[in-house]
Amino acid sequence: MMKKNILALALALTAGIVQMQAQISLVNPTPQKVEAIGESLMEQPTSWNVVTDKNRARSYAVAALAESGIEVNQKAAYRITLGVKGDKCVKKYAKRIPAQSEGYYLSITDKEIVVAGIDERGLYYGVQTLLASMAEGKLQTCTVTDWPDVLFRGVVEGFYGTPWSQEARLSQLDFYGKYKMNVYIYGPKDDPYHRDKWRVEYPEAEARRLQVLLERAKMRGVNFYWAIHPGVDIKWTNEDRDALMAKLEKMYELGVRSFAVFFDDIWGEGAKADKQAELLNYVDANFVQKKHDVAPLVLCPTIYNRAWSGNGDSYLLTLGANLNKGIEVMWTGNSVVHCIDKESMEWINQRIERKGYIWWNYPVSDYVRDHILLGPTYGNGLDIAPLLSGFVSNPMEHAEASKISLYSIADYTWNMKNYDQATSWERAIRAMYPDSPEMQDALRTFATFNEDLGPNGHGFRRDESRELRGAAEQAIKGDKRAIMKLRRACSALRMACNSLLTDKKNPALRRELYPWLLQGKQLAEYGESVCMMAVLEKGKAKGHFQRLYSNARSLQEQMYELENSNVRHALQPGIKVGTGLLLPTLNKLFANAVNQYNTENGTSYDPVAEFQPFTLESNVAQIKLLPVKAQGSDVNVTPALEVITWPVDGQFTIKSERPVTLAGMDFDFGAPNTAQFFKLEVFDGTNWREVSLLHYNETETTIHTGNELGGMKAQAIRISNKSGKEQKLYFKRFKFVKQ
């Protein structure tokens, strides 16, 4: 009997702990410190008596409680006290409030709740923790003492391509507030008033839209940074300096109180470190410091990663020595797209003489637009918080889908040492469909096949379909159990795509995922046919094999046609799903099954599932990893988005598996009068022949070829820098057309 009682008590205690953890697991980011008060789990009160000081009357933290739908009744028995350190109503809790900026103390008992922040934003975050913890209608008696590890946390809308819509931005700001991110940097490359027309004030309609965003940001505790990008054509004159100051003043009048200045992805006169520092210092002294209500300036430098720093680091050292110490300096890491670790932070901090402000280029996909990135967020050091002044993520142009990664960015930057990528990703999936386990399962399944970026110019890859890796390896070796496991995975993918294609709960996500859902469904059907081909027994397969082979071939063609169809989003070059593991494995299985069948039956079915006849070689570091893609008669090198540094002997060569006949070619390096710097040669299998290059007019950036190119046979094409000087140019387009 004694043993039974002890066992019952142990089970009861375990249940209490699990219940408490279940409530806290609803909170994102993971709180720093949680202590249970007993083991009580109680129903949420139906009405609340809200107690605050008068100076919280216009508090956005108090408003957040009202927005949640909680009924406020001053006669209610259950009381909630909301205050900031210094308010009388929370005076007796002052010693329990963490001293860190944006920290808060939360106490939940069976009689009352107290939320006390070190500042207004801390109070708001305490309210968000409370609301998240009772999302399932229950309250856990506990105390939470919480604060962020990184001071500035959030998002920079800095990608190339279609900017977010107004609706998407408003949704994003709500998301940031809910998950305790305090920075949104508005810097879309395709907003002309941010970059190309930086001297020109916004038209009235655009200005009103920005004001709506500013008001929402204020209500969500978010610093709305407006970024200006003057570097493309700035003249280091008083006139241009005054034009920039005038633009900042106009934005201040609209309500902006946080500003950034970008000098990224440029070359030439605008890229001088001493001039950039001089301008930023002037703005800091004559605008930021004089306004008294403006946040510290943020600079995105021209050399924003280690790979570009050069042996002398002169640019970075100049910034570090000359730039006012209150100005933040952004940094992407060891390269344009790279994870951040302690050594790399120590390296940059020493040079810029301050803590670096990380611009992390993930989950941005503007350089791999045929992929959508839905996997876990990982790779950054868990020990770098003391070395950072800020950490912002550059997301995809697909705002809703980006929330999966941004959820984890919020978690990581708030409580870095306790960040767990798998747990955070799982919670992020649930947050996309909070009331639908069925849709959570569908999204989870689909997301596991959309993690890797595929080959790209930055060499940045992600693991994909980890749970299938062992089965994939065994399936290639002919293990039928492993093959059937792959078939079940394909079936699950097909059903997940069907569920998401008819989703009514998150229409924004469905709209963004639509091309990939269609492709995922076809990939799944292809996989089911291929797996059945691979397990057919010798001597019993003839008619069945032919039907499966025809179906697989049809699906290969349909996948290709879909990639080139109008279901794609603007600027989307293709539609890739499962390219990290599933598709390559299925193509190998297809080839193995066809070759085996041909050997056994004396047939000659084509075993090639996917053929890429073109390869690229280059001694230009930023070009050598760019993928070459053939679609119909067009052959394209994937564009690079940053400035390309061509050394004196810089060149790239595209080789063809077999000779092709050329019908045309053009390319765009982003500046006029650049044809003179390059030489184009075509190899016909025996000799290299030079082809003339020209612009049609003095202002055109596109480089065309002479008429002699048409009809040439080519096994290789080579572009070389013949100028005798290093050239800094863009790589916006390279295409040739074959007959």
Q: Are strands 702-705 and 713-721 parallel, antiparallel or unpaired?
A: unpaired
Asked whether 407 and 364 are in contact (CB, 8 A), the reply is no
Report the C-alpha gap between 25 and 30 in whole angstroms: 8
Instruction: Give the pair of three-digit tokens for residue 367.
Output: 């350089």
Sequential DSSP letters for 359-417: EE--S--TTSTT----S----S-SS-GGGEEEEEE---S-HHHHHHHHHHHHHHHHSGG
| Structure tokens belonging to residue 653 | 């060569």
Q: Both tokens of residue 197? A: 């027309």
Give the whole-angstrom CA distance, residue 600 versus residue 729. 56
With a CB cutoff of 8 Å and minimum separation 6, the contacts of 520 are 446, 449, 450, 493, 494, 496, 497, 577, 578
Residues 406, 410, 415, 418, CA torsion sign: negative
- In sequence order, what are the residues at sequence separation of 6 or more whose Cβ sits closer than 8 angstroms to the Cβ of residue 527? 486, 487, 489, 490, 493, 582, 586
Q: How far apart are CA 425 and CA 492, in angstroms?
A: 20
Return the structure tokens found at 88.
Answer: 């009388």
- 148 prior amide bond cis, ω within 30: no
Separation between Cα atoms, residue 324 and residue 317, nearest integer Å = 13
Q: Residue 154 contacts by C-beta under 8 Å, 6 or more apart in sequence?
A: 176, 181, 182, 183, 184, 185, 222, 223, 392, 393
- Cα radius of gyration (the chain): 29
CA distance 189 to 229: 9
| Pairing, β 47-51 against β 651-668 | unpaired
Per DSSP, the three-state class of 58 is: coil
Residue tagged 């508090």 (tokens): 59
Short-list 389, 324, 380, 320, CA closest to 357: 389
Cα(61)–Cα(52) distance, rounded to whole angstroms? 11
Dig out the tokens for 608 from the structure. Answer: 């090639």
Q: How far apart are CA 623 and CA 686, in angstroms?
A: 26
Q: Helix H segments across 502-541?
A: 507-535
Q: How many helices (H) and strands (E) does the chain have?
A: 18, 27
Which amino acid type is present at position 604? S
Q: In what order do the strands lie in the sheet with 79-84?
A: 33-43, 138-146, 104-108, 112-117, 79-84, 47-51, 71-72
Catalytic residue (choose from 87, 146, 265, 341): 265
Of the candidates 141, 142, 134, 115, the one whose C-alpha atom is nearest the C-alpha of residue 70 is: 134
Cβ pair 723, 676 in contact under 8 A: yes
265 in catalytic set: yes
Beta pairing, strands 328-331 & 356-360 = parallel
Q: Among all residues, which ones are annotated catalytic?
A: 265
